[in-house]
Amino acid sequence: MQKNRISMAVIRRLPKYHRYLKELLEKDVKRISSKELSEIIGFTASQIRQDLNNFGGFGQQGYGYNVEELFYEIGKILGLNRTYNTVIIGAGNLGQALANYVSFEKFGFALKGLFDINPKMIGLKIRDIEIYDMDELEEFIIKNNIEIAYICTNRESAQVTAERMMDCNIKAIWNFAPVDIKVREGVVVENVHLIENLFTLSYFLNNNEE
Amino acid sequence: MQKNRISMAVIRRLPKYHRYLKELLEKDVKRISSKELSEIIGFTASQIRQDLNNFGGFGQQGYGYNVEELFYEIGKILGLNRTYNTVIIGAGNLGQALANYVSFEKFGFALKGLFDINPKMIGLKIRDIEIYDMDELEEFIIKNNIEIAYICTNRESAQVTAERMMDCNIKAIWNFAPVDIKVREGVVVENVHLIENLFTLSYFLNNNEE
DNA sequence: TAGATTGTTAATCGATTAACAATC
DNA sequence: TAGATTGTTAATCGATTAACAATC
């Protein structure tokens, strides 16, 4: 699909382009130059042009970029032109919070079920989405064609649950447990460690010499 | 305090060292070489030694690093040797989830209050911590010596709330609203955009060649 | 056409890795 | 002492920035 291998740094900037372009679109901005975009997004104009040209020439000399087209193209690169079936493992506070994130749904990530081991939670619903017993996990994943799982369990259960889901050919794991999930070839993972962010903030709070 | 300027890349790896060292400590491991640590953490031994030497020579030739000492030193660098008073703005799903993260408390981030505009929520408590009216924000921050605020509002309210708190000399903002908060000189910010993570995951789910 | 701005190559900068002398 | 492993310098690699010809 794309020429060479795109660097991680570029990929991680794409969602930010996507978000800012969406805002521009909402403000009815029709076109934008790399220089203008640079001023609102905070990357250099040169970097913006380099980033975009990894995926093709979306701009036009003398004109700039069409906001709507660029927004659409970046969405497509990110895989937002289709839908994904997802589940949440662990219906505690964080699991429930994620289940209520309607913006995930809007972008095509359709939550099909939550899973928990706590008998008191099983059968309850969040936004019409049921909480199931962990015993039903494998069957549910296969039956509902689940591609992505958000892991919101404790540290101990995270890897074993991931293994169970990989046995059912889950394709992606979004992990919030405080451990780095190891995945098999062909499976992708994003480990989100909120506390690492908080610690970084704490570092800069204490080392804020300019 | 430290010699030169430490790069962002190094700072962002520190919390990961901290986490893995804590695990080693719990397993009663007394010492570790950069090579051994490399194998469990996934950075090169060379990088580990380079990273650590930004802050001082914590190791010993022929021996390696003392796990307990290194854990303590990295904690100190991250500012975990003292406590911080914090508040949460927005007591919705995410705000409540963060309020229930006991691990933040354990590392010294003491939640003093939540704030919301919804009259139905005001006065309620989460883990003994009260939800206050946004009208009381300024007074509370000053009176309780709040240094860090977690912003869990919607996109529209995030920046204005940040301004109000910066007027009260808040020092750090941990923002979860889908916008990049702009801060004044002397104030630090971490913008956490969960959806950017999900989009990155989606990208790799679709571009997982080889 | 003239002006603007891209796409792309080249230059620079910074971060990672390799190598090895110092030393426990 | 001999072996192991750090701290640190030098080499390499990769990412960002600058420059400019191409072209709308």
B49 in any annotated domain: yes
Per-residue model confidence as pLDDT tens digits over A183-201 = 999 999 999 999 999 999 9
Q: Is residue A3 part of a domain?
A: no
Distance of alpha carbon B1 from alpha carbon B15, whole angstroms: 19
User: In terms of domains, do A49 and A142 share one?
Assistant: no
At residue A75, the 3 state secondary structure works out as helix
State whether B141 and B169 are in the same domain. Answer: yes
- Does one domain contain both B91 and B177? yes
- Domain contains B18: yes
Distance from CA of B168 to the nearest CA of A (A): 16
Q: Do residue B80 and residue A199 have CB atoms under 8 angstroms apart?
A: yes
Cα distance between residue B135 and residue B40, in whole Å? 49
CA-wise closest residue to B73 among B51, B106, B100: B51
Task: Look at B97 and A93 and tell me if their CB atoms are within 8 Å.
Answer: yes
Count of domains forming chain B: 2
My answer on whether A108 and A185 are in the same domain is: yes
Query: Is residue B203, in this structure, part of any structural domain at all?
Result: no
What is the enclosing helix (H) or strand (E) of B138? Answer: helix B137-143
Rg, chain B, Cα only = 20
A11/B147 Cβ within 8 A: no
Question: How does the average pLDDT of chain B come out, rounded?
Answer: 96
Position B1 scores a pLDDT of 40
**Same domain, yes or no, for A12 and A58?**
yes
The predicted pLDDT at position A165 comes to 98
Best B107, B199, B204, B205 member to test A by mutation, with max A CBs in 10 Å, is: B199
Query: Distance, in angstroms, between B93 CA and closest chain A CA?
Result: 5
Q: Are residues B92 and B178 in the same domain?
A: yes
Regarding whether A56 and A19 lie in a shared domain, the answer is: yes
Domain CATH number, residue B154 = 3.40.50.720
For the segment B148-187, what is each residue's pLDDT rounded down to a tens digit? 999 999 999 999 999 999 999 999 999 999 999 999 999 9
- As given in the structure block, the two tokens for residue A72 are 């659409």
For residues B15-31, give the mean pLDDT. Answer: 97
The pLDDT tens digits of the residues spanning A149-169 come to 999 999 999 999 999 999 999
Condensed to tens digits (0 to 9), the pLDDT of residues B91-150 reads: 999 999 999 999 999 999 999 999 999 999 999 999 999 999 999 999 999 999 999 999
User: Can you state the angle between helices A34-41 and A8-26, rounded to 10 degrees?
Assistant: 100
Asked if the structure places residue B2 within a domain, the reply is no
Distance in Å, alpha carbon of A79 to nearest chain B alpha carbon: 6
Q: Which amino acid is at B193?
A: H
DSSP A178: S
Residue B2, CB-side half-sphere exposure with 13 Å CA sphere: 20
Nearest CA in chain A to B13: A196
Is A66 found in the same domain as A138?
Answer: no
Instruction: Give, in order, the Cα–Cα distances in Å from A34 to each of A48, A50, A71.
Output: 6, 10, 14
Cα–Cα dist A33/B42, whole Å: 40
Asked whether residue B43 falls in the same domain as residue B146, the answer is no
- pTM for this structure? 0.95
Stated as kind and residue range, the H or E segment containing B80 is none
- Domain holding B20, by residue range, is 8-77
Same domain, B108 and B188: yes
- Which residue, A77, A104, A127, sits at the end of a domain? A77
Residue-wise pLDDT tens digits, B53-95: 999 899 999 999 999 999 999 999 999 999 999 999 999 999 9
Tokens encoding B14: 């520190």
* Range list of β-strands (E), chain B: 31-32, 59-60, 64-66, 84-89, 109-116, 125-126, 129-133, 148-151, 172-175, 188-191
Across the range A16-30, mean pLDDT stands at 97
Express each pLDDT in A71-94 by its tens digit.
Answer: 999 999 999 999 999 999 999 999
**Which residue in A has a C-alpha nearest to residue B20's C-alpha?**
A179
| Identity of the residue in A79, A200, A202 whose CB atom sits nearest the CB atom of B206 | A79
Sheet holding A64-66, edge to edge: A31-32, A64-66, A59-60
Report residue A132 as tokens.
């199931």
Nearest to A34 by CA among A59, A2, A8, A3: A59
B201 inside domain: no
| Tokens of residue B137, six digits | 């924000």
Cα separation, A131 vs A108, in Å, equals 21
Residue with tokens 């390696």: B64
Q: What is the CATH number of the domain that holds A27?
A: 1.10.10.10
pLDDT confidence bin for B3, thresholds 50/70/90: very low
Pairing of strands A64-66, B148-151: unpaired
User: Are both A59 and A160 inside the same structural domain?
Assistant: no
b/e per residue, A98-130, with b = 16+ CB within 10 A? bbbbeebeebebbbbbbbbeeeebbeeebeebe
The structure tokens 């017993």 sit at A133
Task: Please say which residue of B22, B49, B77 terminates a domain.
Answer: B77
Q: Are residues B125 and B64 in the same domain?
A: no
Query: At which of B33, B60, B77 does a domain end?
Result: B77
Residue in the block written with tokens 């529209």 = B156
The answer, yes or no, to whether residue A3 has pLDDT greater than 50, is no
- φ, ψ at B177 (rounded to 5°): -70, 150
